[in-house]
Amino acid sequence: MANSSNHDINEVPGMIERYGPAAAAKKIKAMLEEKNNTPLNIGITGESGTGKSSFVNAFRGIDNRDDLAAPNGVVKTTMEPKSYPHPKWPNVKVWDLPGIGTTHFPAAQYLQHVQFKRYDFFIIISADRFKENDVKLALEIQRMEKKFYFVRSKIDDNMRAEKRSQKDFQPEKSLSAIRKNCIEGLAKEGIRSPQVFLVSSFEHHLYDFNLLEETLQRELPAHKGDVLLLAMTNSNVEIIKKKKAVLQSEINHVAWLSALAGAVPVVSLLADLNLLVSTANKYKVTFGLDSKSLQNLAQSAGVPLDDLRSVLNSRLALGELSPGLIIEMLEWSLPQKVGANLLRFIPIVGNIAAGALSFKSTVKALNDFLNMLAKDAESVFKRALNR
């Protein structure tokens, strides 16, 4: 992804010369919008009672009690796929698919019924051993050369049962035995190199939930992997660093758009600042520093919200983002002469040289914003784990 981004950015000066600032700005804006709106569709299938709805919610980073949650409990079995968009990244959709057993379709017909081609990959969920229908479906997906993964849900329940029944209970030994049993059983049925993840939808930091997310992100095509990464919760510091790298690869696009904006008639300073506000807000949401994300983290980690907020250092994380705050942050971030004369650095029509200076200033400012918020995200993560 980064290589593609760099290639696009290297073409910008030629685009300006060939098409003019206005057309170049439109092309850069289209690049950013295409990347931000890249669709990712995830198919989740499993029989009733496997914890599928809880998994759909956990994967979207929300609690079962959230207004946007997939319904749990005794509900009418659906015969049609139901999409649940990510609350902050609507281009990421998690699809709750009917269990193959409820449709009474053969595997091939089932995949046609749920519109097989729509999904980037499938997750097959079972709360116990994987059954005949799970295997038939996996074999058909395998035949059609689409990615799929097995999830043993409710593994926390399994661990509690194992602890009660075993005199010398060793969690890692029990988990290893369950995983090995699943993999060997699926391999015997003809599944090539089955990938099995043991998860709890209520204790993400335990078991394989993080490993599942990281595996999906790694095995997707680069541009789709970036989309999933930005939507993932901050389950470890490494994910925060990866998010930062993806966001950093976009900075030159935003800086060029900001610089060229001033060379387009009728585009005001406020519009330019609004671009920086929206970019900083994207950083804030991506790192889980918005109010809703902090509240969810406090609840799931059992840590007072005020404790999480107490480790925030940047004004971008603490306050409401606005053009006024961005101006103050720019005055802090940029060299004194630039900050004191900020308005002079918005390029006028046709003044591409001034635009180039604005480009450099915007790159520095956005890197500063990104570094501050990434550091705050790491502090919040460590505080949530009481480190």
**Residue boundaries of the structural domains of the chain:** 2-36+238-384, 40-232
Nearest of 337, 326, 333 to residue 283 by alpha carbon: 326
Q: Exposed, middle or buried by CB within 10 Å (0-12, 13-18, 19+), for 268? A: exposed
| Residue 260 confidence (pLDDT) | 77
Phi-psi region at 48: left, alpha or beta (left = phi > 0; alpha = psi -120 to 50): beta
Q: What is the pLDDT along the chain (387 residues), one digit of tens a residue?
A: 444 455 466 677 777 778 787 788 888 888 888 888 999 999 999 888 888 999 999 999 888 888 899 988 655 566 889 999 999 999 999 999 988 887 778 888 999 999 999 999 999 999 988 999 999 999 999 999 999 999 999 999 989 998 898 888 898 999 999 999 999 999 999 999 999 999 999 887 789 999 999 999 999 999 999 999 999 999 889 999 999 999 999 998 888 887 776 555 444 455 667 888 999 999 999 999 999 999 988 988 889 999 999 999 999 999 889 888 888 887 777 765 444 444 444 443 334 444 444 778 888 889 999 999 999 999 999 999 886
Task: List, for residues 64-76, the tens digit of each pLDDT value.
Answer: 888 899 988 655 5
Question: In three state form, how does the secondary structure of 281-335 look?
Answer: HHHHHHCCCCHHHHHHHHHHHCCCHHHHHCCCCCHHHHCCCCHHHHHHHHHHHCC
CATH homologous superfamily of 40-232: P-loop containing nucleotide triphosphate hydrolases (3.40.50.300)
| Residue 27 confidence (pLDDT) | 84
Nearest of 81, 174, 181, 76 to residue 126 by alpha carbon: 181
Rg (CA), the chain: 24
C-beta separation of 260 from 16 below 8 A: yes
Backbone angles phi, psi at 132, to 5 degrees: -55, -45
Q: How many CB atoms lie within 10 A of CB 220?
A: 18
Residue type, 209: F
| Residue 256 confidence (pLDDT) | 85
pTM, entire model: 0.86
| Residue 44 confidence (pLDDT) | 96
Task: List, for residues 286-306, the tens digit of each pLDDT value.
Answer: 999 999 999 988 988 889 999
- Give me the sign of the Cα torsion angle 330, 334, 335, 338: negative
- Give me the sign of the Cα torsion angle 123, 119, 88, 225: positive
Phi-psi region at 61: left, alpha or beta (left = phi > 0; alpha = psi -120 to 50): left
Which parts of 42-154 fold into alpha helices (H)? 52-59, 100-103, 107-113, 132-143
What residues have CB less than 8 Å from 37, skipping those under 6 apart? 91
| Residue 336 confidence (pLDDT) | 54
**Strand ranges in 4-147 using DSSP code E only, listed in sequence order:** 40-45, 82-85, 92-96, 121-126
What residues have CB less than 8 Å from 145, skipping those under 6 apart? none
| Residue 77 confidence (pLDDT) | 61
d(CA 146, CA 30): 30
